[in-house]
């Protein structure tokens, strides 16, 4: 199926590792030009080089996404380079463990900046270009906490906000034919997830406890499986899909885990 993404310019925040990198690679495979935005220059450049090594096109911008001015400058650099933006994937974020009992107000607000404020900033700054291209936005969300890990007030609030903003923006941007959807991730095999597993005395046993409760094939979701859904939503092939929260999780969220 031709997703009609050839030479489309798509910004992917946090696109150098994990889910974001998976999305960038699938976009490149479809002929699009992923623009990887992140704060660690070496990681971003490595990701761009990896895409070019397999025959794809890619661009990048270095930005600390919690800084709204850095978000603006990153978007401006893309416009200067290509003269257009066809899509945005808001992906960057981290479960920073800011809880109610263990946290404080200042840390909570920092968590909001890390995990949802830049979703708004990036969407705001790319909007004039998306109006021209009738592009699409995909927000990456997550279930509110990592399995067995409490104390995630900041992350939970951010994910709730991501879902609400997805539907609000979908409504607001209807007159411009800009589609806005979210892909919700549960148990996905990413570097962050592996790092969390290593905090347990027996990581492999802990992983087995988790995967046995994932109904479809009792395994983790791959970054490519997330990416395939994201790229479909960015494409014209999903031209009448907007305001949706799509769960790519092997049935983990909605099916009976005793299956």
- 3-46 tens-digit pLDDT: 999 999 999 999 999 999 999 999 999 999 999 999 999 999 99
Tell me the whole-structure pTM to 2 decimals. 0.93
pLDDT per residue as tens digits for the range 65-115? 999 999 999 999 999 999 999 999 999 998 888 999 989 999 999 999 999
Q: What is the distance between the alpha carbons of residues 76 and 217, in angstroms, rounded to a whole number?
A: 44
Segment holding 223, helix H or strand E: helix 223-234
Other beta carbons less than 10 A from residue 70's beta carbon: 18
228: tokens are: 């395939």
- Active site positions, annotated: 155
Would you say residue 229 has pLDDT above 70? Answer: yes
The reported pLDDT for the residue numbered 81 is 98
Would you say residue 190 has pLDDT above 90? Answer: no
Q: Which domains does the chain have, with CATH numbers?
A: 9-186+223-247 (3.40.50.720), 189-220 (no CATH)
Segment holding 155, helix H or strand E: helix 153-172
Cα radius of gyration rounded to whole Å, the chain: 18
At residue 144 the predicted structure's pLDDT band, cuts being 50, 70 and 90, is: low
Sign of CA dihedral 44, 178, 8, 124: negative
196: tokens are: 């969390």
Q: What is the DSSP string of 85-110?
A: --EEEE---------SSS--HHHHHH
């Amino acid at each position: 199926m031709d997703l009609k993404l050839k030479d489309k310019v798509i910004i992917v925040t946090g696109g150098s590792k994990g889910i974001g990198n998976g999305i960038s690679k699938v976009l490149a495979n479809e002929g699009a030009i992923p623009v990887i935005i992140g704060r660690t220059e070496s990681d971003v450049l490595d990701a761009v080089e990896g895409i070019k090594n397999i025959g794809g096109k890619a661009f990048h911008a270095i930005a600390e996404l919690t800084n709204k001015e850095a978000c603006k400058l990153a978007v401006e650099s893309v416009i200067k380079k290509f003269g257009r933006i066809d899509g945005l994937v808001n992906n960057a974020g981290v479960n920073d463990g800011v809880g109610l009992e263990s946290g404080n107000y200042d840390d909570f607000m920092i968590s909001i900046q890390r995990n949802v404020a830049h979703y708004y900033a990036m969407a705001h700054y790319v909007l004039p270009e998306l109006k021209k291209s009738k592009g699409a936005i995909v927000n990456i969300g997550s279930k509110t906490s990592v399995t067995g890990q409490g104390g995630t007030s900041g992350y939970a609030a951010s994910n709730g906000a991501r879902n609400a903003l997805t539907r609000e923006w979908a409504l607001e941007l209807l007159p411009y034919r800009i589609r806005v959807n979210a892909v919700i991730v549960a148990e996905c095999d990413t570097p962050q997830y592996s790092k969390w597993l290593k905090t347990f005395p027996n990581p492999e046993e802990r992983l087995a406890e988790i995967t046995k409760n994932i109904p479809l094939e009792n395994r983790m979701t791959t970054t490519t499986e997330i990416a395939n859904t994201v790229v479909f939503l960015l494409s014209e092939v999903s031209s009448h899909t907007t305001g949706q929260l799509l769960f790519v999780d092997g049935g983990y969220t909605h099916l009976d885990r005793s299956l």
